[in-house]
Structure 1
């Protein structure tokens, strides 16, 4: 695996740079774990959101995961072709599509959730349990996620 040259010392100490590097490493670990289950990152994000929200209108699903509608169509086409979600007219508004997860999709999202948790365990392995708890609390506070 090729190594990247070190960043200038003035950059290496910036929290934003360090968070970006940690995020890139985390994304790579999770992407590799998901690939072993046959999913790409966005496919997992959408499938997990459908599992949480479904049945859900396609437009609402896109807004909930911050995915462009054109990209959402492609991801949903892939998930539907693999038998992981169903897309049908929304009974509340037939002009919209409602997305539901299939039993096969539920099984896959469960495996992928476990794989992502293992990957994140690898990412946080240098930290003790207490440090992980504090770190996640701090990340939650600075990211604005509640």
Structure 2
């Protein structure tokens, strides 16, 4: 074990976390996630958007019109929260809801032109945040990190 006087210090001269904490992958992953999440939320809030808005717009762009239940499944947003998210997006003219011709009890949600433009804007904003958060990594390291995180989240051989 090393002598405590030789322990690294933080930039503000406080002692760094104990080595077992500094090197614990789950802690490092949590700290990175907290920082990343904070930056994403700050930048989205700056343009009056939220992560759920982005998730719905991206799902509609990728797979086309969908029911509220399908969007809930695709995005991981609880059905009870989906209505509020869709209300916000519809009030801004970013999505349209219309009764499903095959089942009038369901609504079909469609991405609008302004919704697509907002999605492109958010794509750029999130790319900038990603560049900031991952600035200390080289492009190959970023690709490796993305592959490793996908393996952790989705398991081996599965896509998200």
TM bucket, shorter chain: 0.7 to 0.9
Residue from 125, 136, 160 that aligns with 1:115: 125
* Match 1:14 to one of 9, 14, 24: 24
Q: Which of 65, 79, 90 is residue 100 of structure 2 equivalent to? A: 90
1:131 paired with 2:148, answer no
Which is bigger in relative contact order (C-alpha 8 A, separation at least 6)?
1
* Bigger fraction of residues in strand: 1
Task: Count residues with an aligned counterpart.
Answer: 143
Q: How far 1:8 moved relative to its partner? A: 5.5
**TM-score relative to the length of structure 2:** 0.81
Q: 1:7: Cα distance to partner?
A: 5.6
* Alignment pair present for 1:50 and 2:60: yes
1:55-78 deviation per Cα after TM superposition (whole angstroms, max 9, x unaligned): 101111011111111110101011
Contact residue 37 and residue 111 of structure 1 kept, 8 A: no
Moved more, 95-104 or 37-46: 37-46
Q: Distance in 1 between matches of 2:90 and 2:69?
A: 16
Which structure has the larger Rg? Answer: 2
Q: Are the structure 2 counterparts of residues 95 and 138 from structure 1 closer, same or farther at C-alpha, using a change threshold of 3 Å? A: same
Question: Any idea what the Cα deviations from partners look like across 1:71-119, whole Å, max 9, x if unmatched?
Answer: 1010101110111100111123221110001101100010001100110
Superposition RMSD in Å: 2.0
Using the size of structure 1 for normalisation, the TM-score is 0.88
* 2:150 corresponding residue in structure 1: 140
Q: Give the whole-Å Cα distance in 1 for the aligned partners of 2:17 and 2:103.
A: 53
2:46 corresponds to: 36
Q: 1:72 aligns with which of 82, 92, 95?
A: 82
Instruction: Say which SS state the counterpart of residue 86 (structure 1) adopts.
Output: strand
Seen in structure 2, the aligned counterparts of structure 1 residues 135 and 100 have a Cα distance that, compared at 3 Å, is same
Q: Which runs of 5+ in 1 are unaligned?
A: none
CA distance in 2, matches of 1:137, 1:40: 25
